[in-house]
């Protein structure tokens, strides 16, 4: 089940963030554009999505699913949630940055109609980043 994240979720989410970040920067400072949702299975948080809707565009910041729960379509549920939210909010497109080495992530985004728009050389400490975009033509 997907629900909005609450402050008591932050310690566990910090642990998940640490799996792909090299520091302990507080990432839960919210702004009026940020949205943070978690996925619960049997009262256990097993993933989260963090994205922003900034006027007429959306940007995916993070999608994470615990390794023991991957392959269960949780990331797909997050994608459907955020795409619906972006359309309902009147966004023209959704963009994201992904490591060129994240093959599973790239496949997920392509499944949902995202296309590679640019390569950002040395964007990540271990390689290049790929800018991907999905246009929401006629809010679809």
Chain-centroid distance, C-alpha 132: 12
Q: Residues near 112 by Cβ (< 8 Å), separated by ≥ 6?
A: 79, 83, 134
Q: What is the pLDDT of residue 65?
A: 95
Question: For the chain, first and last CA: distance in Å?
Answer: 24
pLDDT, tens digit, 9 for 90 and up, residues 84-107: 999 999 999 999 999 999 999 999
Give CA angle at 30 (1, 80), nearest 5°: 35
Q: Which of 97, 100, 123, 135 is catalytic?
A: 97
pLDDT, tens digit, 9 for 90 and up, residues 12-43: 888 888 776 655 555 666 678 999 999 999 99
Catalytic, 62? Answer no
Question: Left if phi > 0, otherwise alpha if psi is -120 to 50, otherwise beta: which for 55?
Answer: left
Q: Which domains, and CATH codes, for the chain? A: 2-139 (3.40.630.30)
Catalytic, 77? Answer no
């Amino acid at each position: 089940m997907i629900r909005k994240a609450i402050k008591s979720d932050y310690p566990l989410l910090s642990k998940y963030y640490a799996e792909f970040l090299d520091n302990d920067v507080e990432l839960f400072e919210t702004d009026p554009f940020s949205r943070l949702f978690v996925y619960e299975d049997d009262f256990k948080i097993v993933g989260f999505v963090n994205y922003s809707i900034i006027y007429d565009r959306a940007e995916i910041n993070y999608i994470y699913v615990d390794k023991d729960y991957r392959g269960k379509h949780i990331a797909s549920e997050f994608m459907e949630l955020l795409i619906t939210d972006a359309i309902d909010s009147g966004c023209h497109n959704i963009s994201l940055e992904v490591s060129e080495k994240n093959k599973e992530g790239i496949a997920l985004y392509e499944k949902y109609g995202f296309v590679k728009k640019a390569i950002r050389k040395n964007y990540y400490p271990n390689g290049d980043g790929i800018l991907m975009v999905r246009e929401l033509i006629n809010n679809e």
